[in-house]
Amino acid sequence: MPESRCWVNRSLRVVLTLGTTGAALLAAPTTAAQAAGTAMSARPTAAQIAMMSPAAQNRLLDPLRAIAGAVDTAGEKSDPGSYAGVRIDAPAGLVHLYTTVPADAPGLLQAARRTDPGLDTSRVEVDKAAFTLRALHAARSSLLAEADAHELPYEVYSVAVAPDGSALDVAVDKPVTARADLPAAGATDGRQANTFDGVTVVFQQGSPITPASWADVKWHDSSPFIGGDVLTDGSSYCSAGLPAVRTSDGHPIMVTANHCFPTGDRVYTGAGTTPTTGNFYNDLNGQEGNYVGTVTGTSGSWDAEELDGANNNSDESDSTTWEPVTSDAYSYTGDYVCQDGAASFFMGYGTVCAIEVTNQDITYSLTDWSGTHNVRGVEGTRLPGEQWAVGHGDSGAMVFAVSGSTRQARGVVSALTDPYQTEGGSYIYWTEAPDILGHFGLKLNPTT
């Protein structure tokens, strides 16, 4: 299979399609602070939170997720002139609200309460930000436009918005050249910084990323298909992501990653002998099983594509059974998610959880069968002590959060990066479910 390349920051990041012979490289802030200080000694660590039972995690995280979602929506809609972002601080039991004008925070929180009157704003801590989210997004768009036009003396791999509104973190091939090309702006958190379009940018060394693409059921499922099922065209292997229907007529559509299969490709489940645990990459046989759908609608910007064909149901294929997926939402820095990719399952890691969201707003350049795209997504990482976050062949799988007895879809797996464990990476990248569903005019299909 020919190799194609794309780029993001940190170390080598690889999108997760897999070929048959191996990896296809492809407000009351004071009250909140006082409460947090009183409980300091009882704070759980991030690793302890990741190891909690689903019920205990829900008690801690669900209120924070609701606050973050409501505040983020209110900030972008009612206060774009000062709003910079939110971050979940699960160990402290707080949500940080970043704004360039802290005096505007009470009005923003009031707007958030209008959407959710029961919102506990005593758990919101207000922090001063250097730049608004709107200004950072505008500067990012300008920088990427210059990169796309080949007007820069360096190559941009990715641009991430710092969750606290302090800067753009830009991964490039030649950071020394990049810094010399722009006015200096002193240091940010001890890192050399520059100025671009009125905001602070911090250049760092980046590296290339390449697009990639319950045993028997996951390998050779039948209609209705669910998230986490194995997908193949006989050459590449990916995972099913969002089981959905068109909002216009209720027609079933399965969503997977755009880089997995080209337009018009017919996609199937696996067939033949089910891979043995820990031997997934050696057991791929190129056989096509049950027909899932044909690639129709595609989006390079969201790294997502539609499979139009068989029926589906909005469930995710978990480690030992299926679980219902009843809602979708954005992810925020500091939250915790899981992913149900087929490769991770067959490599012996089951459904992978203990993934912490590390950046909720990162854009990276991705090259696939349809060209080169700037993909907007989310970054997460495995917590210390965990061996695995994602593997080659997990592309397209559902990223989700556990919410009570159901699951909340967060997006589809897009990419990974090292340090590697066999075929797995420590950092995972996904594009977000609300964006994908909105782009294609879809909604989840929870029929059971």
For residue 422, pLDDT over 70 is answered with no
For residue 423, pLDDT over 70 is answered with no
Q: For residue 412, what are the CA distances in angstroms to 316, 330, 396?
A: 12, 12, 5
Mean pLDDT along residues 423-427: 68
Location of structure tokens 């990653």: 257
Q: What is the pLDDT of residue 186?
A: 74
3-state secondary structure 155-212: CEEEEEECCCCCCEEEEECCHHHHHHHCCEEEEECCEEEEEECCEEEEEEECEEEECC
Give how far the C-alpha of residue 345 lies from the chain's centroid of Cα atoms, to the nearest Å: 19
Q: What is the pLDDT of residue 30?
A: 37
| Dist. CA 133–CA 159, nearest whole Å | 14
Contacts of 35 (CB under 8 A, 6+ apart): 93, 122, 123
pLDDT single digits (tens) 93-102 = 999 999 999 9
| Superfamily for the 213-448 domain | Trypsin-like serine proteases (2.40.10.10)
Q: Which two tokens stand for residue 286?
A: 């190129």
| Dist. CA 260–CA 291, nearest whole Å | 16
For residue 69, pLDDT over 80 is answered with yes
| Dist. CA 411–CA 326, nearest whole Å | 13
pLDDT single digits (tens) 363-410 = 998 888 889 999 999 999 988 777 788 988 899 999 999 877 788 999
Omega within 30 of 0 (cis) for the link into 243: no
Q: What is the pTM of this model?
A: 0.83
Q: Quick one: pLDDT band at residue 21, thresholds 50, 70, 90?
A: very low
For residue 22, pLDDT over 70 is answered with no
Domain boundaries in the chain? 29-128, 133-210, 213-448
Give how far the C-alpha of residue 135 lies from the chain's centroid of Cα atoms, to the nearest Å: 22
Q: What is the pLDDT of residue 191?
A: 81
Contacts of 300 (CB under 8 A, 6+ apart): 258, 366, 368, 370, 371, 373, 375
Q: What is the pLDDT of residue 276?
A: 87
Q: Which two tokens stand for residue 277?
A: 């645990």
Task: Using the CB atoms, write b or e for 341-355: b if 16+ within 10 Å.
Answer: bbbbbbbebbbbbbb
> 143 and 196 in contact (C-beta within 8 Å)?
yes
> 95 and 86 in contact (C-beta within 8 Å)?
yes
277 vs 216, which has greater pLDDT? 277
pLDDT single digits (tens) 385-395 = 777 889 888 99
| Dist. CA 252–CA 267, nearest whole Å | 15
Classify the C-alpha dihedral 78-82-84-89 as positive or negative.
negative
Q: Quick one: pLDDT band at residue 160, thresholds 50, 70, 90?
A: very high
Listed as own residue / partner, the contacts of 372-375 with beta carbons closer than 8 Å and 24 or more positions apart are: 372/6, 373/258, 373/300, 373/301, 373/303, 374/144, 374/148, 374/301, 375/300, 375/301, 375/302, 375/303, 375/414, 375/431
3-state helix, strand, coil in the chain (%, to 5): 25, 40, 35
